[in-house]
Each structure stands twice: as C-alpha cells, then as structure tokens.
Structure 1
Amino acid sequence: MVGPRPAVAAEPAAIPPPRRPLDPHTRLRGWYGGVLGWAALLTPPGPAPRLRLGVRFDVLDVPAEAGRAALRHLAPGSPVASLGGRMRLLVAAGSAPEVPGVLDWLEWGALPLDLAVLGAGAHMEAPLPPGQGLAVQGAAVWLRPPEPGGEVEASLPTLSALGGRGGAPDLVRVLDTVATHCHRLRLRDGCPRPAVGP
C-alpha cells in the first residue's frame, strides 16, 4: 500500500519582465532616417523628435503671412513646415551665417524684423510625415513635405557664392520678400490706426 504523497510546494509562476513602453515616435524617426536619410533625434526634455540643422539644411523662421509671400520664390519641391503661427522655410545648409550680411546688403539690417535663422547646432521639431495620422494641436506639420528619394538640397534657396546649383532658388530674393512682409506686419500691428468717423 502506498501512503499519501508528501505535499510538494508549487513553483511560483514565472513573471515575464515588464515590456518597454512602445515609443510613439518610432515610425516618425523611421520615416526621417529610413525614407529621407535625415538624422532625427530625441532631445530631452520634450518628447517630440527633433531634426538637426546645419547638416542638410538651415531654417528661416518667419511669421506665416511673410512665409506665404515667399512661397512664390521657392521651387515646387522645396519643403516648408509650420509651427503655430510661424513658417519654417528650409534653405541651403550654411546659409544661416550669411543671412545677417545679406539683410544688411538689402538695407534691412538696421530694422527689427520678426525673422530668425537657425543653422548649425540648432534643432527644429520634426513635423509629422504625410499620411502618418492626425497632427497634434500645436505640433509642427509639413505644408510642403520633402519628397522621399528626392534630393532635397537641390531645391533649397541658396546664395550662388555658397555653391548654389543652377535650379536652386535665389536666397537673396527669398530674404528680400520675407523681410518686406515682416516689416509690413510690424508697421500694421505696431502703428495706431486712424480713427474712422466724424
């Protein structure tokens, strides 16, 4: 006769290690890095991936109204982004240090203009790729997205002295247009309007 079996302690169920949370920006970085070949990076403290400037392009950051006026001087494939009420016009890498001198030459240098140029060492928020879902309010978006497989640099405004290519738009014309519209906005918004009536 066999006696009762001794109780065997049950082994604890193996608990799998916690999963790493899914990175919501994996597809975004994949599009920039894999499809376009641009370096996108995540910079603390913000969660949105950012694009390194000064490598493939620099950026003119202008009021949206001034940016819209400059669109006629840009090549059809020239990328343009928007963030809030501002436009980000991509220009040839290396243009940022030249912009103050060009504005002086155009006689805009002495006036306060609502435009900024960002180049080497700066970053911009990476806009959501086209067809990748709905943009979050306040996030950067592409108004004219870069073409996958295309050579974006060939369509960016440049100075001929910086090695501009034959079909590239002229940075001087873009800057003159943007400066003119920035100045008009400043005058319109900063000057009191005449009273209407008797």
Structure 2
Amino acid sequence: MTPTVPPPRTPLPARRGSRAGGEPRGGCARWYEQELGWATAGVAPVRLLTGLRFDALVVPAAAGHAALRRVGRAGPVALTGERMSLLVAAGSADELPGLLDWLEWGGVALALTVLGTGGRITAPPPPGRPGPPGAAVWLRPPWPLHEQKGEPVLPALSGFGSRGGDTPDLVRLVDAVATECHRARLMRARPWPASDESAAQPLAFS
C-alpha cells in the first residue's frame, strides 16, 4: 500500500513586532519583527522561533550546498558553522516523517533534523549588516514584507506535482537533502585504499 503524503498545514498567524518572553529588542531583533513579522527571543544572539511562520531543515553544510545545487530554487537559507538551516513552510516538521517514508528514506540514518513548534535557530545579522567572526550568515536572505506580494514563498507540499509556479517543492528539497546526507555518510564510511608509499613493503636482503 502506497503511503499517503499528508496535506500541508496552514502557518500560524504572527503579529508584527511580536517577541518571546518580553526580552529587550535590539536592532537585529527589531528588523526581524518589523520587516518580516517573525517572532524572536534573546538578544545575544537573537533567536528566531520556528513553528510559527516557518520550520527549519537543519543539515550538514556540505550536504546542504550539494542539495541546493540540485534543486535550484528554495526558501531562505542560513549557515551557522558547519550546519545549514533551510527554511520551509510551517508544519513541515510534522509532515517530515511521513514524507521520508513516502520517499523510501524511512529507517535510514540521516544527519537531518527539523525544527518546528517550540524550536529556534540563531538569527544571522540582517542582510547588509556585518556580524562578529563565526556568526550565523544568510546564504539566501529572507524578503522584507514591503518587498513581498503576500507571504514569503517557502518550500511546501503544495508544490508537489505542480508545473511551475512560485512555490518551491518541499518533496524535491527533502529528497535531495536526504540523498546528499546519505551520500556523505557513505563517503565517511568508505575504506580508503592505502597509498603506494604506505602499502610498499621493505625489501629483505640476505
């Protein structure tokens, strides 16, 4: 029996200027709240709350780069050290286990996690603003509300089977990310042959 892909969940509405816990807002938090309508927490570093306006697929950076080269279009992408966060439609965290099963990745150990309701990611400095060394950065920045026509376009299940349109396909993105995570795992487990020098044995002279 073919598993059924669950329908996408409607993102929860968020008030512009909202924040978690009443923490003081700095310039970075204010930009996210006022320009994007995203809820934030903390001040150093500012955190972006997942599960409200977006969820986040978190993968090794190398696998993420390879997956993005395959799928092309995607939503905002942030890089924090060796981990990459790909923003996807809210509700994707709930849909991911069933989607991985449908794509026949269920039960395969993958360095892939997803953050939904109750999660948070480190907020990179807003585009064009420098950050401290080692800070998170936007590889593909989000779009301010005044530059949008409606809501931000994030990878969602509504793109599955569509012919074009503005919605990136969550199915293609998850499949590409899972493939690259699995490929990296196989490469790490691959026994590398010894070099000619290390394999050479000393000659014995009588």
The TM-score with structure 1 as length reference comes to: 0.77
Report the counterpart of residue 137 of structure 1 in structure 2. Answer: 133
Gaps of 5+ in 2: 1-22, 201-206
C-alpha deviation, 1:39, in angstroms: 1.3
> What letter is aligned with 1:159?
L
> What letter is aligned with 1:175?
V
Looking at structure 2, the residues matched to 187 and 25 of structure 1 have their Cα atoms a distance apart, in angstroms, of 44
Q: Secondary structure at the match of 1:99?
A: helix
Is the contact made by 1:74 and 1:156 (CA closer than 8 Å) also made in structure 2? no
Task: Tell me: CA distance 1:120–1:161, structure 2 relative to 1, closer, same or farther (3 Å).
Answer: farther
Question: After the TM superposition, which parts of structure 1 deviate over 6 Å for at least 4 consecutive aligned residues?
Answer: none
Looking at structure 2, the residues matched to 25 and 128 of structure 1 have their Cα atoms a distance apart, in angstroms, of 14
Looking at structure 2, the residues matched to 153 and 177 of structure 1 have their Cα atoms a distance apart, in angstroms, of 25
> What letter is aligned with 2:38?
W
Looking at structure 2, the residues matched to 98 and 38 of structure 1 have their Cα atoms a distance apart, in angstroms, of 22
Looking at structure 2, the residues matched to 131 and 32 of structure 1 have their Cα atoms a distance apart, in angstroms, of 14
Report the counterpart of residue 47 of structure 2 in structure 1. Answer: 50
Equivalent runs, 1:5-154 vs 2, <5 Å: 26-42=26-42, 47-72=44-69, 73-75=71-73, 78-133=75-130, 135-149=131-145, 150=148, 153-154=151-152
Report the counterpart of residue 156 of structure 1 in structure 2. Answer: 154
C-alpha deviation, 1:126, in angstroms: 1.0
C-alpha deviation, 1:168, in angstroms: 0.9
Is the contact made by 1:96 and 1:118 (CA closer than 8 Å) also made in structure 2? yes
> What letter is aligned with 1:145?
P
Report the counterpart of residue 168 of structure 2 in structure 1. Answer: 169
Report the counterpart of residue 5 of structure 2 in structure 1. Answer: none
> What letter is aligned with 1:56?
R
> What letter is aligned with 2:123?
A
Describe the superposition over 1:100-128 as per-residue Cα deviations: whole angstroms up to 9, x where unpaired: 11111111111110110110111111111
Length, aligned pairs only: 170
Report the counterpart of residue 190 of structure 1 in structure 2. Answer: 189
Looking at structure 1, the residues matched to 115 and 61 of structure 2 have their Cα atoms a distance apart, in angstroms, of 16
Q: Secondary structure at the match of 1:157?
A: coil
Task: Tell me: CA distance 1:141–1:25, structure 2 relative to 1, closer, same or farther (3 Å).
Answer: farther
C-alpha deviation, 1:192, in angstroms: 1.7
Q: Secondary structure at the match of 1:65?
A: helix
Task: Tell me: CA distance 1:179–1:144, structure 2 relative to 1, closer, same or farther (3 Å).
Answer: same
Task: Tell me: CA distance 1:178–1:81, structure 2 relative to 1, closer, same or farther (3 Å).
Answer: same
Looking at structure 2, the residues matched to 29 and 110 of structure 1 have their Cα atoms a distance apart, in angstroms, of 38
Gaps of 5+ in 1: 1-22
